[in-house]
């Protein structure tokens, strides 16, 4: 393979890696994705910072290296440890617990279901499924069961 072919393969691979990581608000807080487009816009400095610090790409042009250095000085927290974004399951569990509390219920002491009436789970499930980016039927069931297993939800079944 010639140098141009190798360069194009590497650029294509890096593009796919970037696309896979675009949802990370940790690295791309200014991400703009128009609702009618499949393309996203990110700041070059954010890309450069991500490319160097996360992907460990050392062979970047000096202009990108400079952008990354300026970005890290101006917008990154001063602490070394960064908090990982919450997992989807954690977000689902928080949603469920918050929904129960907003209904005036204590998740650790849910009332018994009355005969012939649905319990709080059904109402929470309806609220959850109204958010299809966060929940599916199965993910709601899984999150609810994980909360029961960890004794975050106690009571009504």
pLDDT digits (tens, 9 = 90+) for 69-95: 766 555 544 444 445 556 888 889 999
pLDDT of residue 144: 93
Residues paired with 41 in a beta bridge: 32
Q: Which of 34-43, 100-109, 145-154 has the lowest average pLDDT? A: 34-43
> What percentage of the chain has pLDDT greater than the value 70?
52
List Cβ<8 Å contacts ≥24 apart for 108-112.
108/151, 108/152, 108/153, 108/154, 108/155, 109/154, 109/155, 110/153, 110/154, 110/155, 110/156, 111/155, 111/156, 112/155, 112/156
Please give the Cα distance from 87 to 123 (Å, whole number): 24
Considering the chain, what is the average pLDDT of its residues? Answer: 74
Q: Which of 3, 44, 148, 5 is nearest to 18 (CA)?
A: 44
Ordered alpha helix ranges (H), 29-119: 44-53, 62-75, 88-102
pLDDT of 150 > 80? The answer is: yes
pLDDT of residue 80: 43
Mean pLDDT of 85-112: 88
Q: Is the four-CA dihedral 69, 70, 71, 77 of positive or negative sign?
A: positive
Q: Return the DSSP state at 66.
A: H
Q: Are 85 and 26 in contact (CB under 8 A)?
A: yes
Regarding pTM above 0.85, the answer is: no
pLDDT of 138 > 90? The answer is: yes
pLDDT of residue 106: 93
**103-143-139 Cα angle (round to 5):** 110
Q: Where are the domains of the chain?
A: 10-75, 88-149
pLDDT digits (tens, 9 = 90+) for 8-43: 666 666 666 666 665 555 555 555 555 555 555 666
pLDDT of 2 > 80? The answer is: no
Mean pLDDT of 38-58: 68
């Amino acid at each position: 393979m010639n140098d141009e072919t190798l360069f194009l393969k590497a650029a294509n691979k890096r593009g796919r890696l970037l696309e896979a990581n675009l949802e990370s608000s940790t690295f791309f807080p200014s991400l703009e994705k128009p609702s009618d487009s499949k393309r996203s816009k990110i700041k070059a400095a954010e890309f450069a910072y991500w490319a160097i610090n996360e992907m460990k790409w050392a062979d970047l042009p000096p202009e990108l290296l400079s952008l990354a250095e300026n970005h890290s000085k101006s917008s990154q927290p001063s602490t070394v440890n960064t908090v990982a974004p919450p997992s989807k399951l954690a977000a689902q569990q928080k949603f469920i617990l918050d929904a129960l509390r907003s209904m005036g219920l204590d998740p650790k002491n849910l009332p018994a279901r009355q005969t012939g009436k649905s319990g709080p789970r059904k109402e929470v499930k309806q609220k959850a499924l109204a958010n299809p980016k966060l929940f599916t039927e199965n993910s709601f069931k899984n999150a609810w069961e994980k909360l029961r297993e960890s004794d975050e939800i106690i009571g009504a079944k």
